[in-house]
Amino acid sequence: MTNITRSGRKIPTIMATQHPDNAGKVKFLDKEFVTVADELEECYRMFAEYGVDEYMWDWEGKFVDEAVVEKLFRKHPDFFQNHHLGRDFFLTFRVPNTDEEKTARVARAYMSILTADDFAASSGFYGPPVFEVILPMTTNTDQLMRIQRTFRKVAQFEREVFCHEMGNAESINVIPLFEDTETIINSWKIMKEYVEACKQEFGQEITYMRPFIARSDPAMNAGLVPAECAMRAAISNYYYKFSAQTGVEVYPIIGTGSLPFRGGLNPAYLESRLQDLGGVRTVTTQSAFRYDYSEEEVQAAYKLLKRTLPSSKPLELSDSEIVAVLEINDIFGQFYRGTVEAIAPLINRIAEDVPGRRERILHIGLFGYSRGIGEVKLPRAIKFTGALYSIGLPPEFIGTGRGLNALKRQGRFHLIEKLYKNLRADLIHAGKYFNPENLELLMQEYPALADYKEDIRLIEEILEIPIGPEKPHHFIHRNLSSSAYWQLQQNSPATDVIVKSGLMRRSLG
């Protein structure tokens, strides 16, 4: 089953992304590291062999091939003559947010879109091949309107200067990517303002929107439970407030990684995860999903997603429940942030040894932006998650036990059970990689980890679930995390054992 908008546009179910969370080798490359040149082949194979509907071409914080469309068409003309890019398959650019990063890369992305449209028209391919961009860290309507205004100006300039009648791209669809819990919950208001602003300024009727909810960064900033609850509240607001009030169709996207902390979407645990994805129309499958599982597992997972997501029903929350989510998230977030700030030096030290898998640009200084909590700087989400898993302290537990205990005392625990049906399963899964011996050792250097120990105790007590290794490979993972601890104590690189443990849990981070 596939969602089709009233205007006839196919809505993708599977978006493959370039997020570098794979521990093992990319099968068709026979190596772990994916270069910019390799990404062209990856994009084609996702469409032709894996059954992916959409591929994110990421201009945010990484190097990128700007001639992607022309190269795809020249190398695989027969495929794209019969499977139209822009109709059957979709290439969607993620462009930098100029509030956070320099404008040069955005301008280059615009010209790449426009010249790809020209090339498609002049070469007999379907067009426009690229007509949507993802705007990360969206926090207000002005950012979305800036994309519309600047793209239209560049498109007009390109037509006037080069005097041709080839491509027809004049405007761009913008996918807002919301990345912190409070913005996510209230994002429907930003979308409503954007719809009204487009009509007023351009006379443009927006007929559908694809709001994109991040899962990794909200979890990094506030913890596991707030990220999940914010997602559910936002989806309810999209359908029962935004769409109901504007008449605009809505097709939410969720940015999921394989481990529970980053969304918990992977081929092995997919069926249980689906119960928390009601109303979601597109999911991202990152490198670990595609390459740390067998091709048979991936194909089966894609078929299940395509069969179930397009018709899944969104959970409807009342206004009072939305307010409660904001309050609950604040409770969990305070517990979480206090612990993370205290152990940031440990996280940053281990993250240095978590290997890169793509040609990223460093997110500091002149060339990008950094992420952090409070007064501390932290690595990006994959290395953050990989660092804590590699030392045997999965981040899912930070603040969770204390938050659940607070809600139980307030008599509001039932709302968590309504919002996050997979909570127990996710914590059991993460708990298989917990190393209690490392926790005791690290508490001597980082006393704040006593709160992590309390989180574990409270989770086991309140949810009545076991936390700890179960199967042989979980015990091997525990031993690898112990090796990582002792190597760090000797100031020795721990990259080898970090990769081995990543292979055990089938995701680097």
Q: Domain boundaries in the chain?
A: 319-505
3-state secondary structure of 93: strand
Strand 173-178 to strand 90-94: parallel, antiparallel, or no bridges (unpaired)? Answer: unpaired
pLDDT at 165: 56
Cis peptide bond N-terminal to 128, omega within 30: yes
DSSP string spanning 389-400? HHTT--GGGTTH
Is the Cβ–Cβ distance between 509 and 365 less than 8 Å? Answer: no
DSSP string spanning 29-78? TTBS-B-HHHHHHHHHHIIIII--SEEEEE-SSB---TTHHHHHHHHSHH
Q: pLDDT of the chain along its 509 residues, tens only?
A: 799 999 899 999 999 999 999 999 999 999 999 999 999 999 999 999 999 999 999 998 788 999 999 999 999 999 999 999 999 999 999 999 988 776 788 989 999 999 999 899 889 999 899 999 999 999 999 999 999 999 999 888 877 777 555 556 788 999 999 999 999 999 999 999 999 999 999 999 999 999 999 999 999 999 999 999 999 999 999 999 999 999 999 999 999 999 999 999 999 999 999 999 999 999 999 999 999 999 999 999 999 999 999 999 999 999 999 999 999 999 999 999 999 999 999 999 999 999 999 987 654 332 233 456 667 889 999 999 999 999 999 999 999 999 999 999 999 999 999 999 999 999 999 999 999 999 999 999 999 999 999 999 999 999 999 999 999 999 999 999 999 999 999 999 999 999 999 999 999 99
Residue corresponding to tokens 């109901």 = 244
pLDDT at 493: 95
Burial class (CB in 10 A: 0-12, 13-18, 19+), 99: middle
pLDDT at 114: 93
Phi-psi region of 430 (alpha: psi -120 to 50; beta: other; left: phi over 0): alpha
- Among the listed residues 288, 359, 340, 299, the one whose alpha carbon sits nearest the alpha carbon of residue 455: 340
> DSSP label at 238?
I
pLDDT at 364: 37
pLDDT at 160: 72
| CA 401 – CA 407 distance, rounded (Å) | 10
Is the Cβ–Cβ distance between 22 and 287 less than 8 Å? Answer: yes
pLDDT at 362: 53
Q: Which residues of 347-367 are buried (b: 16+ CB within 10 A; e: fewer)?
A: bbebbebbbebbbbeebeeee
| CA 424 – CA 431 distance, rounded (Å) | 10
Cα 244 from chain centre: 27
